[in-house]
Amino acid sequence: MKVVGLTTSTADRKRRAGQRIVLGIAGPALSDEERAFIREARPGGFVLFARNVEEPRQVRELNRELASLLPVELPPIRCVDQEGGRVARVREGATIWPPMRHVGNVADLQTTREVGAALGREVRALGFDLDFAPVADVDSNPKNPVIGDRSFGRVPQDVARHVAAFIGGMQGEGCIACAKHFPGHGDTAVDSHLDLPIVEKDPPDLDRIEMPPFRAALAAGVGSVMTAHVVFPAWDEDRPATMSAKIIRAQLRERLGYNGVVFSDDMEMKAVRGRYPLELQLREATEASVDVFLMCKELTLAHEAWEILVHHQEEDKRQEDLAIDANTRWHSLRERFFIDASPQPDLGVLGCPEHLDLALRIRARGGES
């Protein structure tokens, strides 16, 4: 698979802009309006949620249809949030996994690797290519309303070991993992779906607590990283991490040496939506080296974002160069996981006895009262 075109025509700019959007849809089937936009913008991928799910066969068929709408040279990366615990978009027919806190409590890295592998098999059987897991946040704030037991634990080094094991298991099954939410959402007292959190920590404390799981994820070869819509004044007083070159470019890219795909968290979350103009969000996030933007539900917002990303390239050579860089990383991720990929597992792996037994053993050994 080759990287298509580093030219400057309008068609190329539109293609590059589309490839930087992962699109959500409204329901369990595509509308005519959604089909038309997909054919026009050719998004880089799709993300499905519980609203899109009826049963496993329907999910697999929907993922097949989504891919069929795009040219073969631009296969989409089809994504889902299937973490286990409270964040599981597909439940009917799938294994109901305990929260990752319970997995961490078992304190056995082979078990964690097996969970990552089992989740990877089930996600791929449903037609997905990427799972937005694992959570690499350290659960360091008991008042945190959004992370909690989604984290493997409260000790940074323990979380780091489990994050690496999980990634090894999942990506060993051909499913792309995503470490989230960089540089850390574990010490917030605010849900970024609802407001803009601020983490008041000095750099040494951020380095000691927040960074170890992300360092471990990168060392494990994680395919992608997701940003946090969180402000870290020690690094950037003015912008959440998603929009901050001082955080994503300086800390993740330059300091930690990561050159893979960076996703934004959902751009419809209230930590950013309505707080900054969309044009500014996309411009600054691009400057920060965010590659792909999650537009999880509203088609009108996705369409507006696509047009802005085209215009940015027309108006600013640096924005165009950064869009080319982003597309190159996206194509490299495809090459890494799509070329010589193992066959898609059968739907029979969902809720199979082996997976159910693993989930049961984790609940017995790692469950919290």
The number of angstroms, rounded, from the C-alpha of 114 to the middle of its chain's C-alpha atoms is 21
Tell me if residue 55 falls in helix, strand or coil: coil
CA distance 28 to 19: 23
Other C-beta atoms within 10 Å of 295: how many?
24
Residues 180 and 224: their CA atoms lie apart, in Å, by 9
| The CA-based dihedral angle spanning residues 290, 164, 169, 50, taken in that order and rounded to the nearest 10 degrees | -50
Report the alpha-carbon distance of residue 290 to residue 1 in Å, rounded.
23
Give which of 157, 224, 146 is closest to 187, Cα–Cα.
146
Catalytic residue among 108, 158, 191, 193: 193
Task: State the catalytic residue, choosing from 187, 265, 266, 291.
Answer: 265
Residue 150 tokens read as 């989604």
Alpha-carbon distance of 64 to 57, in angstroms, equals: 11
β-pair type (224-227, 178-182): parallel
Q: For this structure, is 193 an active site residue?
A: yes
Distance, C-alpha 20 to centroid of its chain:
13
Residue 206's alpha-carbon distances to 49, 245, 332, in angstroms, are: 32, 17, 30
For residue 366, give Cα distances in angstroms to 110, 146, 171, 328, 341. Answer: 14, 21, 24, 42, 33
Close Cβ partners of 10 (under 8 Å, ≥ 6 residues apart): 310, 314
Q: Identify which of 321, 251, 334, 255 has the alpha carbon closest to the alpha carbon of residue 286.
A: 321
321 is annotated as an active-site residue: no
What's the sign of the alpha-carbon dihedral 334, 284, 66, 58?
A: positive
Query: What CA–CA distance (Å, rounded) separates 245 from 28?
Result: 37
Report angle CA 224, 225, 231 to the nearest 5 degrees: 165
C-beta atoms surrounding 118 within 10 Å:
23
Catalytic residues: 193, 265
